Structure 1
Amino acid sequence: METVAVFVYIFLFLSTLLSCYPFVRKRRREAKRVSKLPPGSMGWPYVGETLQMYSQDPNVFFAAKEKRYGEIFKSRILGYPSVMLASPEAAKFVLVTHAHLFKPTYPRGKEKMIGPSALFFHQGHYHTHLRKLVKISLAPQTIKKLIPDIEAIAISSLESWVANNGQVINTYNEMKKFSFDVGILSIFGHLDGSHREKLKKNYLTVNKGYNSFPTNIPGTAYHKALLARKRLSKIVSEIICQRKEKRIVEKDLLGYLLNFKDEKGQILTEDQIADNIIGVLFAAQDTTASVLTWILKYLQDNQKLLEAVKAEQKVIYESYTAGGKRSLTWADTKNMPLTYRLILESLRMASIISFTFREAVVDVEYKGYLIPKGWKVMPLFRNIHHNPEFFSDPKKFDPSRFEVAPKPNTFMPFGNGVHTCPGNELSKLEILILIHHLLTNFRWEVVGSQSGIQYGPFPVPQQGLPARFWKESKSSTSTKPD
């Protein structure tokens, strides 16, 4: 009987094993499939394909990769193994539906330059709290009160461009000054001139070193930037001390940061406040300045569109000046449909933010491919914005395409998901205001043939779009210099 029992047990064991075999084979096939990396080339050891990417237009590099390998491919960029994703579904997967699997990340040298506590380096409760504060300070009900001050900055900027009769200016550099002043206004309100100038001087030094090679050797741009970054923290600390001494309560970003307490009663340290202020300045300046520069380039290249946008702005100008007003209102800025579509198409065409960096916090499977833990993940916004499947004739500049809303996840000029740029409304508002005053009171001409693109790191027209500006008289007769 014992022998029979043994045979019965063996039979049952083998039967169970055989019945499980198809399932085991399936799991093995799945494991084998999941372990498959996306197609692509990793290039040279450590540097990977960084040189290939930056020795040409990066957008050509990514477009060629997508054409060869498809919407998901691998490479090694800036020393990091990376997976590039070039479809709306993939961007949504990384930035929205599975955002918890991918943390925001930047090269270490850049994180150090901005500050480790800046909100866009974080996830979780800290990020949620900080993002809420920034969003409140830059919400429509807040920034609409800034319109007169933004107008004053815009008019002052335009006047300075025509002050030296006929002098050629670097449009991009001047737009950076304009957007920096608007950023200071949104963060600090009406800041005294001494602190404003010290902030500007040291921020420019930091900005120059931000994209330099991160070597901390005295005399290098990076080393100078690190020293200037320390001075920026000290200046912010002085401003905070001044506010506390005078018991100043302002509803600007600094005010919201100073008054914050979490559910445990914890407040933000001065280092955390400084990191987030500098982070907002970085996010606000170069991108907005790039878009404004491209708008002038696109209008210069399309005189029919320029006249149409100018006509729209003239109607608004005449409506509020006829009523005795001397400035724009929030309602006026919402009554510029063609100008708004011009901005959207400029954002699509130029794709200032060509991609964003994330890092897989665990092994992730996407469409049968493995994205290993620790690898960088880069949704390619420009590839999506220039895909003819979503935007017909994508190389043609055509604001009318935005008369119909684009398909979901195909247009992401400010990112997507919980890390969408919280300052996008302020950026669009300052662009509308400057364009309004430029087209109603000033004129410009681009000097030379500017057909190329330069990267620093954001794409701008060659040489920053050299141009001359002049003021137009009230009789509509140009005062253009000879």
Structure 2
Amino acid sequence: MELDLLWLILAIAAGSYIIVYAFVRRVNEWYHVSKLGEKRHFLPPGDMGWPFLGNMPSFLRAYRSNNPETFIDSIVERYGRTGVYKTHLFGNPSIIVSSPQTCRRVLMDDEKFGLGYGKSMTRLAGKNTFVNIAKSEHRRLRKMMTSLMISHEALVMYIGNTEDVAIASLEEWAAASKDEPIEFFCETSKLSLKFIMRILFGSTSDSIFSSVEKHYIDVHDGVHSTAINLPGFAFHKALKARKMLVKILQKVVDERKAMKKNGEQTAKRGMIDLMMEIEDESGKKLQDEDIVDLLIVLLLGAHDGPTHTIMWATIYLYGHPQILQKAKEEQEEIIKTRPSSQKGLSLQEIKQMEYLSKVNIFFFMEQGVTIIIF
């Protein structure tokens, strides 16, 4: 008798939970969809998740697991392979585009699609960056940074800095793998961070690198979280980390200015040095606050892309030995024509790597997922 009563209570509790769960999520979806008026008829399949939280809990569980693609996989399993789904992420109603063809259309159609960012990104990026500035200032800053980043001096600087980091990291991996396997994604993530930090700062002390890395990770986690500014939440921790990061980067800017004033040179220049020198058409230079905000955004924007590109390109090359062999043959041909006195890669050699560059672009595009936030 007591066992039957226990099962009855459990059944009622489970049924009540399912009813409340379905009701609350349905009300949340009605609230967001009803505000669209006639546009609601054009929405793709999907759901808006819980009130305020949306689908962030399931997104973060997948993101922090060993299989982050399970978030998209679960949506595809529920709603079919439409390639477009509605959801609620980072505090905003959103559309997820998961097919490579549709991602290309969204990213390349400037007339129908514009840049947009979640609340976490806009708060953490800084007021003087591409994320938050007006159109006229956006064009000015974009023009300055584009001319800077593709200049001959910058390209040569990228090669030297990244080659040093790559060689050192590969040697570390070789030594570490003798004892036990390495976790490849974690190592490529560290490698990408080292790449961008070396490009941004050139030569600087190890303490600066470690300090920036420590606080950057907290800011990065905050960007991928809901904007809840309360103790215990990732976004709150990220705001505090950003303040520390600003202090560290401002100190580096001050040191470079003092060195330039005294006629000193760093062993290797970085993007920060070029940013301090560049001028727009009217002769206006970037202010310290602009430089610091841009450094933070470049750290955030230039980390995840290379990490996934390196990881997936390596995995696919390993799984497709015929493509790996062709890429290897191209590299060997380039080395054969290299002068015996040359040490390290040159910009001219990079330009000759036509096949390898196509391999990287192909694998990067094939992994594409775009989130459109309203």
TM-score (norm 2): 0.71
1:75 is displaced (CA, Å) by: 4.9
Given the alignment, which residue of 223, 241, 247 partners 2:236? 223
Instruction: Give the counterpart of 1:150 among 155, 162, 168.
Output: 162
| Amino acid across the alignment from 1:317 | I
Q: Does structure 2 retain, via aligned residues, the 8 Å contact 1:261–1:267?
A: yes
Q: Aligned match of 2:138 in 101, 112, 127?
A: 127
- State whether residues 94 and 371 of structure 2, in contact with CA within 8 Å, keep that contact through their aligned partners in structure 1: no
Specify whether residues 158 and 98 from structure 1 end up closer, same or farther in structure 2 by C-alpha distance, changes over 3 A only.
Answer: same
- Corresponding pairs, count: 320
Q: Is 2:95–2:371's contact at 8 Å kept on the other side of the alignment?
A: no
- In structure 2, relative to structure 1, the CA distance for the partners of 1:91 and 1:247 (3 Å cut) is same
Structure 1 residues 64 and 87 mapped into 2: Cα distance closer, same or farther (>3 Å)?
farther
Match of 1:118 in 2: 129
Q: Deviation at 1:125?
A: 1.5
Paired with 1:340 and 1:175, the residues of 2 have a C-alpha distance of 18
Q: Does 1:276 align with 2:276?
A: no
C-alpha spacing 1:139/1:315, structure 2 compared with 1 (3 Å)? same
CA contact (8 A) 1:206 1:228 kept: yes
CA contact (8 A) 1:137 1:252 kept: no
SS at the partner of 2:337? helix
Q: Look up the match of 1:355.
A: 370
How far is the alpha carbon of 1:159 from its aligned partner? Answer: 0.8
Q: Deviations over 1:316-336 (max 9, x none)?
A: 23432x633222211211222
Q: Secondary structure at the match of 1:81?
A: strand
Aligned equivalents of 2:196, 2:258: Cα separation in 1: 24
Deviations 1:389-442 (A, max 9, x none): xxxxxxxxxxxxxxxxxxxxxxxxxxxxxxxxxxxxxxxxxxxxxxxxxxxxxx
- Correspondence for 1:80: 92
Residues 193 and 303 of structure 2 are in contact (CA less than 8 Å); yes or no, is this contact kept in structure 1?
A: yes
More contact order relative to length (CA 8 Å, sep ≥ 6): 1
Q: 1:65 to 1:139 in 2, by over 3 A?
A: farther
Q: Does 1:61 align with 2:75?
A: yes
Q: Percentage identity across aligned positions?
A: 22
- The answer to whether structure 1 residue 196 and structure 2 residue 214 are counterparts is no
Taking the aligned partners of 2:294 and 2:42, their CA distance within structure 1 comes to 36
Change (3 A) 1:125 1:39: closer
Counterpart of 1:106 in 2: which secondary structure? coil
Instruction: Answer 1 or 2: which has greater strand percent.
Output: 1
C-alpha distance in structure 2 between counterparts of 1:309 and 1:93, whole Å: 30
Partner of 1:297: 315
Shift, 1:281, TM fit = 0.9
How far residue 226 of structure 1 moved from its aligned partner, in angstroms, is 2.1
* Structure 1 residue aligned with 2:181: 168
Q: 1:36 to 1:281 in 2, by over 3 A?
A: closer
> Which of 114-123 and 84-93 deviates more?
84-93
Unaligned runs of 5+ in 1: 1-32, 359-375, 377-482
Q: Which amino acid in structure 1 is aligned with residue 343 of structure 2? A: R
SS in 2 for 1:218: coil
Which structure shows the higher helix fraction? Answer: 2
Q: Secondary structure at the match of 2:352?
A: coil
> Are 1:40 and 1:75, in contact at CA under 8 Å, matched by a contact in 2?
no
Query: Could you tell me how far apart the structure 2 residues matched to 1:157 and 1:192 are?
Result: 18
Aligned counterpart, 1:245? 258
- Using the TM superposition, name which of 153-162 and 192-201 deviates more: 192-201
Q: Structure 1 259/314 Cα, relative in aligned 2: closer, same or farther at 3 Å?
A: closer
Shift of residue 129, structure 1, vs aligned partner:
1.7
SS where residue 194 of structure 2 aligns? Answer: helix
**Quick check: 1:104–1:122 contact (8 Å CA) kept in 2?**
no
Distance change (3 Å), C-alpha of 1:315 and 1:60 = farther
1:38/1:72 contact within 8 Å kept = no
The CA RMSD measured in Å over matched residues stands at 3.6
- List per-residue Cα deviations over 1:439-468 (Å, max 9, x = no partner): xxxxxxxxxxxxxxxxxxxxxxxxxxxxxx
Contact between 1:106 and 1:121, CA under 8 Å: does it hold in 2? no
Match for residue 50 of structure 1?
Answer: 55
Aligned counterparts of 2:110 and 2:227: Cα–Cα separation in 1: 34
SS in 2 for 1:357: strand
1:337 corresponds to 2:354: yes
8 A Cα contact 1:72 1:83, kept in partner: yes
- Secondary structure (helix, strand or coil) at the match of 2:93 reads strand
Q: CA deviation at 1:50?
A: 2.5
Cα distance in structure 2, aligned partners of 1:265 and 1:174: 42
Is the Cα–Cα contact under 8 Å of residues 38 and 73 in structure 1 kept in the other structure?
A: no
How many Å separate the matches in 1 of 2:108 and 2:355? 30
Pick one of 316, 325, 334 that aligns with 2:334: 316
Mapped to 2, the partners of 1:134 and 1:231 lie a distance apart of 25
Distance 2:342 2:100 in 1: 48
Q: Which letter maps to 1:170?
A: E
The CA distance in 2 between the partners of 1:205 and 1:93, in whole Å, is: 30
2:163 maps to 1:159: no
**Residue number among 170, 193, 212 corresponding to 1:180 in the alignment:** 193
Q: Do the aligned residues in 2 keep the contact of 1:104 with 1:121 (CA within 8 Å)?
A: no
What is the alpha-carbon distance in structure 1 between the residues aligned to residue 122 and residue 49 of structure 2?
25
The 1:297/1:262 distance shift into structure 2, 3 A limit, reads closer
Please give the alpha-carbon distance, in whole angstroms, between the structure 2 residues aligned to 1:302 and 1:325. Answer: 32
Specify the alignment match of 1:207 in structure 2: 220
Which of the two has higher C-alpha Rg? 1
